[in-house]
Amino acid sequence: SQQGEEDPQALSIQEGENATMNCSYKTSINNLQWYRQNSGRGLVHLILIRSNEREKHSGRLRVTLDTSKKSSSLLITASRAADTASYFCATADLSGAGSYQLTFGKGTKLSVIP
């Protein structure tokens, strides 16, 4: 099944800076989701953006979606040490059995230095 790919693989920034992570995917989708994972723990859902939306905000998070380029970005503004985690994008294929499978990228590991 198709897979999202995050870029960069790792990102290190100072507290207070903004962090941007990108995700590219391969096939048509209904929506795209972003998740966060603290080391070794379960994933936590951050935001879902539908294919007919271009931008969505949630607190310090801003997600964009460009379906023509099959890409999405996650921006975390004014980062905090507590934002240190891995971030994953996830998509489901538009049709057939793929619509029942959520496929995750390999993630971006974000380190926020106090």
Partner 1 sequence: EAQVTQNPRYLITVTGKKLTVTCSQNMNHEYMSWYRQDPGLGLRQIYYSMNVEVTDKGDVPEGYKVSRKEKRNFPLILESPSPNQTSLYFCASSRVRGAGASEQYFGPGTRLTVT
Residues near partner 1, by CB under 8 A: 1, 3, 29-33, 35, 40-45, 48, 88, 90-92, 97, 99-107
Distances (CA, A) of 109 to 67, 100, 112: 24, 27, 10
CB of 88 vs partner 1, minimal distance in Å? 7
CB of 50 vs partner 1, minimal distance in Å? 10
The nearer residue to partner 1, 15 or 28, going by C-beta atoms, is: 28
The nearer residue to partner 1, 80 or 106, going by C-beta atoms, is: 106
Distances (CA, A) of 44 to 1, 65, 101: 22, 20, 18
The nearer residue to partner 1, 1 or 18, going by C-beta atoms, is: 1
CB of 30 vs partner 1, minimal distance in Å? 6
Lookup: tokens for 51: 């294919």
Distances (CA, A) of 27 to 22, 35, 84: 16, 20, 30
* Closest C-alpha to 105, from 1, 2, 4: 4
The nearer residue to partner 1, 40 or 114, going by C-beta atoms, is: 40
CB of 81 vs partner 1, minimal distance in Å? 22
In contact, 80 and 69? CB cutoff 8 Å: no
